[in-house]
Amino acid sequence: MKKMVEGGCIAMAHNLDDCIGCFGCETACRETNRYSYDEGWMKVIRREPVLVDGKLRQYHLIAPSLDKCRACYDKDHDPLCVTGCPSGALTIGEFDDVVRMAKGQHTVIFTA
């Protein structure tokens, strides 16, 4: 079941082309919420490089716990994981807005 925030469900977009795999979002999440190292509210997953159309590509994935992200978003619509991303690869907001923003981009959208 999707969680509702201000009339819509929350979503996080992760632009795969922009992400540099720096772990900034993971660090920002841990710093903001002060959870233990046994927990993983935001996790960066490094993947092996692959050839795409003859070019070497390195993609990283994130694994957010959007039930936790919702609490941050309720307090601040510009959480540190998003504002601290050096490449601007993360966006969080209401589902419809995030989908509109991500249109035409190589993006993964997480919903809660």
pLDDT digits (tens, 9 = 90+) for 48-76: 888 888 888 888 889 888 888 888 899 99
Decide: helix, strand or coil at residue 77.
coil
1 or 22: which carries more pLDDT confidence? 22
Residue 46: C-alpha distances to residues 43, 84, 101 (Å): 10, 19, 25
In the chain, what are the domains? Answer: 4-111 (3.30.70.20)
| pLDDT grade for 8, boundaries at 50, 70 and 90 | low
Residue 5: per-residue pLDDT: 45
Question: What is the rounded average pLDDT for all residues in the chain?
Answer: 88
